[in-house]
Amino acid sequence: MEYRQLGKTGMRVSTLGLGMEYLQAEVSRQTVISVVHKAIDEGINYFDLLGCSPEVQDNFGAAFRGFRDKVHLAGHLGMGESDGQYRNCLLYTS
């Protein structure tokens, strides 16, 4: 895997990242864990997280447990997607 410095942060990130929007609530926790662990095994250390429901956040937390010091997470704070439109996650109801 090739790595580059992220701006002036000094962080070295993989040139390939993993967008995780497709790993939402309809996907099992084991699938999320398997995908994340495979990506880490292949050298990916940059992950773009999207998902504001508690279940999705719990799945991501389980997937990154034990790896948090080895990865860089980008997040969409306060926003989510519903029917193809972004929405405020602070208004999320299950």
Please state the rounded mean pLDDT for residues 54-69: 91
| Percent of the chain whose pLDDT exceeds 70 | 78
The pTM assigned to this predicted structure is 0.78
pLDDT over 50 at 92, yes or no = no
In sequence order, which residues have a C-beta less than 8 Å from that of residue 89 and are 6 or more positions away? 52, 78, 79, 80
Q: Which of 33, 74, 40 shows the shortest CA–CA distance to 56? A: 33
- In angstroms, the Cα distances linking 90 to 3, 32, 57 are 35, 24, 14
What's the chain's average pLDDT? Answer: 85
Please tell me which residue, 52 or 12, carries the higher pLDDT value.
12
Q: What mean pLDDT is predicted for residues 29-58?
A: 90
